[in-house]
Amino acid sequence: MALKPDIKILIVDDMSTMRKIIKNMLTQIGFTNISEADDGATAWPMIQSAIKEGKPYEFIVSDWNMPQLSGLDLLKNVRATPGLEKLPFLMITAEAEQGNVVIAVKAGVSNFIVKPFSPQVLKEKIDRIFK
Amino acid sequence: MNMFNDPSMKEIVNDFCDEADSLFDQLENSLTTIEEDPSNTKELEKFGQVIDRIMGAAKSIGASEIATFCELGKVIGYKSSQVTDVPLIEVVVAILFDSLHMLRKMNQSLREGSDKSMNKLNTKAFVTRLNWLSEKFKDIERASCAIENTKANLSQNSIDELMKSLGL
């Protein structure tokens, strides 16, 4: 793995099943420093706190459809924050409609992945984002 | 992936079943609310959002029958939230109640880890009913939590192409 294994990653998904699956995949790929949030609304303060502590997240993996703060709104918050304009942000969705993809790209998403996906596909996406 | 025969999947599958049961309760509450007030289209949108979440996880653990039900329920939920035909909404609610009942049974079969118990459920007939109902809304485009007009769903390859064309 070209990336350092302890890159600070935040998984954001309201389904704990999905968080476990994604965490397992990231662990399989070789990553070791993985945190979880159960909604965009939970993730956003974690992202802000991490900045204040001087240890910002280096990669966000977020679901789109969440009850309180969607992945898209979380992405917009991130991109509107000085210093986070280029933070790698991978959006996960169960279904990708063209309009949604374009909206997310306009909002600054780094890449998109559609459920279900394999560790290999996830790795390819990560490689593409960090190349 | 066959979740029934893979011990390493057992914990994740059990978690899914617990989460799904809790979300089924939310879906049932939504349907009860809509049954009492069929003009409450916001609740149908909420139904679509919740069942969408179950769908994503079901697909990811390979619970394809549950995912199919959820996908159809999601489309019906989102699309019916855009109509004002009360008699049609009443039919939608009745069928979604039946489908939810079936989803609970399917989830229980998944928890028990038995192909046989899953096979006992006549899911095909229900899928046919859901498809029939989904057809009633074929003129309505928005079938997800999209925020602008959308067209067809994209495969991962199509997304990759689109991202490439957009410079990513």
| Mean pLDDT on A43-63 | 96
CB contact under 8 A, A116 and B52: no
**Are the C-beta atoms of A78 and A84 separated by less than 8 Å?**
yes
CB contact under 8 A, B56 and A72: no
CB contact under 8 A, B62 and A116: yes
Q: Report the pLDDT value the prediction gives residue B2, as an integer from 0 to 100.
A: 46
CB contact under 8 A, A15 and B55: no
- CA terminus-to-terminus distance, chain A: 12
Q: Report whether pLDDT(A36) > 60.
A: yes
Nearest residue on chain A to B70, alpha-carbon basis: A94
Asked if B148 is an interface residue toward chain A (Cβ–Cβ < 8 A), one would say: yes
Nearest to B53 among A15, A21, A121 (CB): A15
Residue bearing the bigger pLDDT, A18 or B134:
A18
ipTM above 0.85, yes or no: no
Q: Report the pLDDT value the prediction gives residue B140, as an integer from 0 to 100.
A: 64
pTM for this one? 0.81
Q: Report the pLDDT value the prediction gives residue B137, as an integer from 0 to 100.
A: 74
Residue bearing the bigger pLDDT, B7 or A57:
A57
Nearest to A121 among B19, B49, B156 (CB): B156
Q: Report the pLDDT value the prediction gives residue B41, as an integer from 0 to 100.
A: 85
Summary mean pLDDT of chain A? 92
**Are the C-beta atoms of A129 and A90 separated by less than 8 Å?**
yes
Nearest to A65 among B53, B150, B154 (CB): B53
Please give, rounded to a whole number of angstroms, the shortest distance from the CA of A4 to a CA of chain B.
Answer: 23
Q: Report the pLDDT value the prediction gives residue A107, as an integer from 0 to 100.
A: 92
Residue bearing the bigger pLDDT, A84 or B123:
A84
Nearest residue on chain B to A17, alpha-carbon basis: B16
Q: Report the pLDDT value the prediction gives residue B121, as an integer from 0 to 100.
A: 64
Q: Report the pLDDT value the prediction gives residue B10, as an integer from 0 to 100.
A: 85
Asked if B47 is an interface residue toward chain A (Cβ–Cβ < 8 A), one would say: no
Q: pLDDT (tens digit, 9 = 90+) per residue, A94-110?
A: 766 667 788 888 899 99
Q: Report the pLDDT value the prediction gives residue B167, as an integer from 0 to 100.
A: 57
**In chain A, which residues have their Cβ closer than 8 Å to the Cβ of B148?**
99, 103
Element (H, E) at A12: strand A9-12
CB contact under 8 A, A64 and B145: yes
Q: Report the pLDDT value the prediction gives residue B58, as an integer from 0 to 100.
A: 94
Angle at A60 between CA A56 and CA A63, to 5 degrees: 145
Mean pLDDT of residues grouped by 10 in chain B (168 residues)? 60 93 96 93 89 92 91 87 86 90 92 68 75 74 53 64 61
- Enumerate chain A positions whose Cβ falls within 8 A of a Cβ in B: 14-18, 20-21, 24, 63-65, 67, 70, 72, 92-103, 105, 110-117, 121
Q: Report the pLDDT value the prediction gives residue B119, as an integer from 0 to 100.
A: 62
| Mean pLDDT on A29-48 | 97
**In chain A, which residues have their Cβ closer than 8 Å to the Cβ of B71?**
95
| Mean pLDDT on A61-73 | 94
